[in-house]
Amino acid sequence: MGRGVRANTTEAKTTEPSAAPPNRRSFIRPGTTSGSALLAALLALATPALLAPTAAANPHHGAHHGGSHDYRGHHGAHHPDHWKRDPNRWHSSRWNHSERYNHWNRPVDYRRHHPGWARHDWQRHRPWQHGWYGRGWYGGAPSWGWWAPQAAAWGITGLATAATINAAVTSAIDAKQTTFVVPESTYRLDYGSIETPNDHVVTFVVDRDGRSFRMDADCADGELNGHAPTNASEAQLHNAACQVAFGGS
């Protein structure tokens, strides 16, 4: 009888389903309340980390949504070639010296005016930072990457001096004229159109063949409308605009 009981006990143990082995994935069951709460908590923690790269990749994003305004960040979306500078873009190994760009593609109907700073001693009255342009040029030649090969091709050794350009502007102001002749060119630059969106870029209006065109010049990089000048006259135009905007007395 004892053996029978023992046999029945053994049989009961054999037929009883064994406990499932631990399974890491079985600890969180989406169907349970505790599993749903834990999953929601994990998502809440992960969300800021997922959004952070977007903000880091676009530091100017806030400028359109109540953040601080930055000219280059704001206008970069509209003029990517003008404001996103590559410091090595003019390196001889990357720049095609035969590259040409039509700088005369922005005609404008411009209304002339005399700005408040346009007086005989205009250099001291410009209402923005100035005085740095042209300083440190070795032998009067700029250090822009395109300058040396292009100057040699054009047969020139330098650009108009600050004294020459300043005198031309002063003469135009004294004569009540709104434009002055850009040295070594047939262009007339409207000094009243000069605007400086930041500390190294100038926008302006220039006349050629009876038509007016709007342009911009990066006076630090030596770029005209985001590209290198295509001839000596355009280089003189770039230099004149930068001298009026940022040059010394």
Strands, sheet with 188-195, edge to edge from the N-terminal-most edge strand: 179-181, 188-195, 201-208, 211-218, 223-224
Torsion sign (Cα): 40, 41, 42, 48 = positive
Is pLDDT larger for residue 69 or for residue 17?
A: 17
Rounded CA gap, 194 and 203, in Å? 6
Whether 178 has a pLDDT exceeding 70, the answer reads: yes
Q: Among 102, 98, 247, 117, which Cα is nearest to 192's?
A: 117
Whether 9 has a pLDDT exceeding 80, the answer reads: no
Bridge pairing between strands 179-181 and 188-195: antiparallel
Q: Among 207, 242, 249, which Cα is nearest to 222's?
A: 242
The band of 103, judged by pLDDT with boundaries at 50, 70 and 90, is: confident
Rounded CA gap, 152 and 32, in Å? 79
What would the pLDDT profile of 126-175 be if each residue is shown by its tens digit? 999 999 999 988 877 898 999 999 999 999 999 999 999 999 999 999 99
The band of 2, judged by pLDDT with boundaries at 50, 70 and 90, is: very low
The overall pTM is greater than 0.95: no
Number of residues in the chain = 249
Quote the pLDDT of residue 242.
Answer: 98
Orientation of helix 162-174 relative to helix 232-246, angle to 10°: 70
Backbone φ and ψ for 49, nearest 5 degrees, come out as -65, -35
Q: Among 223, 193, 224, which Cα is nearest to 207's?
A: 193
Orientation of helix 147-154 relative to helix 232-246, angle to 10°: 130
Is pLDDT larger for residue 198 or for residue 72?
A: 198
Per-residue H/E/C for the chain: CHHHHHHHHHHHHHHCCCCCCCCHHHHCCCCCHHHHHHHHHHHHHHHHHHHHHHHHHCCCHHHHCCCCCCHHHHHHCCCHHHHCCCCCCCCCCCCCCCCCCCCCCCECCCCCCCCCCCCCCHHHHCCCCCCCECCCCECCECCCCCHHHHHHHHCCCCCCCHHHHHHHHHHHHHCCCCEEECCCCCCEEEEEEEECCCCCEEEEEEEECCEEEEEEEECCCCEECCECCCCHHHHHHHHHHHHHHHECC
Whether 219 has a pLDDT exceeding 50, the answer reads: yes
Is pLDDT larger for residue 68 or for residue 15?
A: 15
What would the pLDDT profile of 50-86 be if each residue is shown by its tens digit? 444 443 443 333 333 333 333 334 333 334 344 345 5
Rounded CA gap, 154 and 232, in Å? 6
For the chain, give the longest Cα–Cα distance: 133
